[in-house]
Structure formats: structure tokens, C-alpha cells
Structure 1
Amino acid sequence: MNDHTPLSIAKALIACPSITPATGSVFDAAEAMLELLGFTVERFLAGEGDDDPDHGAPVENLFAIRGNGGRHFAFAGHFDVVPPGNGWTSDPFEPEIRGDLLYGRGAVDMKGSIAAFIAALKHIPEDAGTISLIITGDEEGPAIYGTRALIDHMQARGTIPDMCLVGEPTSVNRLGDMMKIGRRGSVNMWITVEGVQGHVAYPHLADNPITKLTAILAEIDALILDEGTEFFQPSNIEVTDLTVGNPAHNVIPARAEARLSIRFNDRHSGDSLSKMIAEIVERGGGTLKPVISGEPFFTPPGELSNAIASAVKAVTGLDPEPSTTGGTSDARFLSKICPVVEFGLCNATMHKLDEAVAIADLDQLTEIYRRIVTAILTVRT
């Protein structure tokens, strides 16, 4: 593709169906574009042979790099998208322009941001420094074989960026009003309480697990984990499921189960919270199975966030709010190897029917990304 405008690139990427886990054509399209810009592109499949459907394998990943000296700036993102669902006005994988908007699955989350970054590269000299793209096909799914595998790949080849921008759709009302300098961690927990089944008229011959489970949940609900910090909102615990599966009105069931989801700031870890909840559950006669989805990360305001803020201000006139709100992202993995900030398009339509991006936002984001990369690479170390 010789037409490296953000709109043309976004249309080409959207036209490649890439429901998570993504492989194939969308990576082919990106590889061709990046090679024209002088990048060495490395692609690999991860998770081959994994027959566990919960792991969403196999997954394709792409690492592209240009330059071999100076500072190393990386852009990270994902090609996989959530299933489009039924009820779209037009085919979700046939990009369509209506008015000032480009419609298609992935328009904002996050093929549009990737398109803007690729378009920006055309205006950055090849000798400016080292630039890489870290693109996975496994972010919307289990995220087992995606960015984590890419990090392993980069470490094996001895290529670790000095800092990284993740192109998630962070803007809320207008392009540039928010960037993410951190995210809360996430841990899900399954509680099981075993009892003894019996007739409700003879409770002394049974042991009702529901009574025990509700007592456990009441104690957990009473917890106040923290009051928040300067940059993080308070941690919260939510009960997301209760299951007994008892079809009979006159039977005390043998088992009761519940599920919790905890989003937590950097005053906690997944392990510390798991231990805290396990003590309550075990004291109440139950068992706990925790699964940590991600730890919190925080990049203190500094060079990277300042470069983003300056670029946004110059292009849009806005001062982006440094925030840690929202769900998790792959920045939780990348933050372990270098400073990371997320910045991208408006998120109002992500995961929705008729997902769309303003064409003007694609153009402005391209210029913002160009300014960010230029500012970072021109600083002498």
C-alpha cells in the first residue's frame, strides 16, 4: 500500500476479520506496510498445541523494529477484536464511511490507533533512533500467549525499549482529554462451601452451605480495602455470581458457590488480597480459588507523560488528565520492562454495535504520535 494515510490504513486493517484470538490476514497487511517503511518484521505463533479452550490458542504476534542506535521507543497494541454481534447497520468487517465517521469493528479498539501510528512513521526519519511495534492477536481474550510472549521474544533477542506507548482508546469526550499513567489490578475469586444435603424438615440431619456462604460474603462485603491514593481510586470488591443449583424447594443443598471480582490499586497485590480473603473464607468453612488477571501498574508523571501532554496540547489545545481509571490492559505486562503510558482515541463506541472513529481524530492522532516519537527520540542520553 503506497497510500499511508491513517484513514486508508485503518480501512485496510478493519477489512481483515480478526476476532480474538487473531491470526493471518491482518498481520499480513501490517507486515507489508511496515516493510515499506524500512521495518524488520518478525511474526510468530504462540500457544500451538494448547488444547485448553480457555487459553484461546494459537495466537499470532508481531514485533517490528527499525533502527539500531539511540533511544528505543515502542508502540504496543492489538489486532484482535471482540465478536461484533448482530444488529450492525453495515458489515462490521467492511469499513464504511458515513458522514465524518469511519465504521467497523476495531475502528477505535484499536486498529484506528495502530493505523495512526503507522501513518506517523512515514514522517519520522529512519536515522532518528530505534522504533518498534509490539502487536498481539490476544488482548481481548485470555491474554496468555500475546504480549507476555512478545516480551519473552524481545528479551531473548536483547531488545528492550526505553519507554512504551500503548494505543488503547483512553480519550473520553474529546480526543486528548485523558491518558492512562496506570491501571488497577484485577483478581477473580471462586468460593465454594460444602454442606450436607437433607430434607428441610430435618435440618439437624443436614448442613446448609448457603447459610455459611452468606455469612462469609457479609464479612467480605464489610471490608474497606483503602480510601484510594493520589492517583488511584479506592479498591473495590464485587460479588459477581451466586450459584446453588437447587431445583427443589424442600431440599437443603449440598454445595453453594460464589464468585468475586476485586479491582485494586497499588496499595495491594493480587497475592495479598487472595490471602486476606482466603482467611475469611476458610474461617467460615469454605475454600477459595483465586486467579490474578493482573497487578496494578503506575508510571509516575515524567518524561513520557510530559511528551504526550505537550503533543496533545499542541494539536488539540487540551491538557490530558493523567488517570488510572478503567479496566486492565496489556500495559500491565509491559510496565515490568519499561515506563508505559496509554493514549489513544475516544472510547465511547468500543465493543459496541456500529463502532466508529471520527476521521478527523485519526488525522490528529497521527500528528500527536509523530510529535511524541520525535520528542522522545531527539532527547540525548
Structure 2
Amino acid sequence: MPTETILAGQVLSFTRSPWDGGAPEDAAALHEAALLRDGLIAAVGPLATLRREAPQARLVRYGDGALITAGFIDAHVHYPQTAIIASWGKRLIDWLNTYTFPEEMRLQDPAYAARIAARYFDLALAHGTTSMCSYCTVHPASVDAYFTEARRRGLRALGGKTCMDRNAPEGLTDTPQSAHDDSLALLRRWHGEGRLGYVVTPRFAPTSTPEQLESLGALWAAHPDCLMQTHLSEQPDEIAWVRSLYPQARDYLDVYETHGLLGERALYGHAIHLEPRERDRLRETGAALVHCPTSNTFIGSGLFDMAARMTEGQRVGLATDTGGGSSFSMLRTMAAAYEIGQLTGNALHPAQLIWQATAGSAATLHLGDRIGNAAPGMEADLVVLDLASTPAIAQRHAQAGDIWEALFPTIMMGDDRAVRDVWVGGERYAGAA
């Protein structure tokens, strides 16, 4: 007998991208209910119709004050930095040396890595994030801890061992050969295991020698169904550092391309300060950029122009960048993206913001056919938002004229109190409120 559940409330389903040139507000449809069957969304539509289709289904009523949407997808995370989120006062390179590297050293202990992984997933799910793509540390135990915990919770999660063989402390470095061999062993252990996927992960050009980048490029070429993630053009002083380390490269992106680390399944975090040639190559290859707005403001990196990148045809995801980012919440991340949009001269529509946090991020992870939309055939990873979760939000929600006006106060002021329920693979997450 199939397991069936009907969720009754306002179900938001995207019918197209709100960036495709039409009116953003027309990019989605609202339905009365969603039918979940065996971990998938079987149907959306009128409640009466779904009850006739599945008369034995369990019925969960949320009411008109709730919005049922795809679970949030965080496309760029450093789960090992969970414990140091919101550490004061440093820019990127100093921040890495002062906070990040000492904390990442601790994850060589499998027990500590397991505790941090459990804590990270607790926090992410409490904020409605049901899928994520994470950097682990150089230690294979940190990758095992991450995937073990994700598998236990039934999550669709991606990640990989971070590789560094220079400009990092002893104890956080590997070699070109060990980076390749450890990554390959982890890939064979975890890639395709349940809902998990392995990601080839050089941290960024300054912490890898040309030999290591080449070895990871070869690994990716041998396993092209994997994603590859790294960082690109986050801060001007970082770009200058890359130029000094790779003087023969035309630009930062060229370092990766020369070593086989540019392609359609590549993810580049931040990518704020791009040269015209880099933007052209990224668009030509179909690689994806990941916007990390709370991190960019917290560390003082700069303003990513989301509207400009989308208009020129880039593929862009959205992410918290835990723990350089200052929040585990994708709602807060959407709010920061809106604020940065205002500073770059573009007021992003609520439809564009929530699309980036769901379907847009899913597309960058090449999972757009599985997650990121509350639509038939998709995996039933869902978040139920309370659109009147606090008095301040409720009084603004009461004046809303349509769903976008109703949602926008939650985007701008919401936090984990706005997450009424979370569903993972068609099952209610036990830790949900």
C-alpha cells in the first residue's frame, strides 16, 4: 500500500523562471493542496480533487495563513564552520587564518566532526533548508561525518573533501596525490549512495599548487557526473594574490580552466569581481555562480549584481556560506540579496528571491528535475512557512493584496519562527516545530 499524505494550504508551484522576461509575479501558481506519495509529489490542485484521488491519504491542514513551498536549497556551505559563525571583525584572508583554519583542524577528530555535522543539520532544517552543498575539511573523517548524518536524515545533500596543499597550516594540508586518492575513495564510498552526491572540492587557487589543481582536474574528468566546487573572485586582495601565484594566467578563472576545472557542472562561490572575459567564459561553458549575500557584506567582499548576471545569461544559485555568512537562514539570505540588489540598482521581486533559494539553486546543482519546486514528479522536500509568525510580520501580512505581498514580509523579517513544518522525502521532519 503506498504511503500517501495530503498537505492542505497554499502550495506555491513555479511554472517558469521569474527571470525569463515575463512579469515575475506570473511565474508561479497557487494550489489548495499537494498529494505526497512514496517520497514524491504526486499531484497538486484542488483539495477536493486530491481527496477523491487518494481517499485513504492522511490529511494535514495548514490553512490560508501558511505557504507550502519547495524546501530551501543552500548551494554553498562550509558545515565545519558552524561553531564559528558570526566571528568578529576580519576580512577574508585574516578571517581564514584567525577563525576558520583553527576550527577546521578540530574536525580531524571523527567524534567532533560528527557532533558538528549533527548540529549543522539541526540548524539548517530548523530554518527550512532541506538540501545543501557543503565543503568539508581536508580530513576524510569530516566527509564521512557529513554524509553519514545526511543519510540518516534522508536528505539530498552534496559535499566533498576540501583540498589544500599550500598556504594553509600543517594539519590542514594534503598533497596532489593524496588529494586525488582521498577524494576518489570518498567519491566511490558516497557518490550516489541514497540521495547523496560527491563534489570535487579544491578550496581555491591560493591554497592549491598547480600540481594539485591538475590532479583534481583529472579526477573530475574521470568522473564527469560529479560537480566541482571552489571559490572565485571574492575580494580584490584575493584576486591580487592569485595573480601573484599564477602570473601566467589571463585572469582568476583562467587558473581553473588551465587545470581542467571549468565546465558545465562547476560551481563558483561568490564571483563578485569578474572580468568581462570571465563572464563570457562562464556563460559559454554553462558553469554556475553562487551568490552568498550575508557573507559578502559580513566579510566586506563587495556587492554581487544578481540582476546583471541573470540578465546576461549566467546560472546563479543562492547560499548562506555558513560560517562566513552570518545566518543559517535562507530567508535572511533572500533578504540580504534584496538589500544588495537595491544597492546595485535592482529591486528583486519576491518571486525572484524565493525562486533563487529553491529552483534556481537546484538548477545550479543539476538537480532541477528532482528538487526545488512543489510540482508533480518532484521529490517531496517541502517547507511550510507561517506568513504571520511574529506580530510585526502579521500586521504587514494582514494588508497584503496578493501572495507576493503576503510573502515579502516573511522574506525580509522572518527567521526560524516562520518555519512551521519541514517535510523531507515525503515524511515530516521530526525536529520541526
Structure 2 length-normalised TM:
0.25
Higher CA-based Rg: 1
Q: Which has a greater percent of helix?
A: 2
Higher relative contact order, chain-length normalized (CA < 8 Å, sep 6+): 1
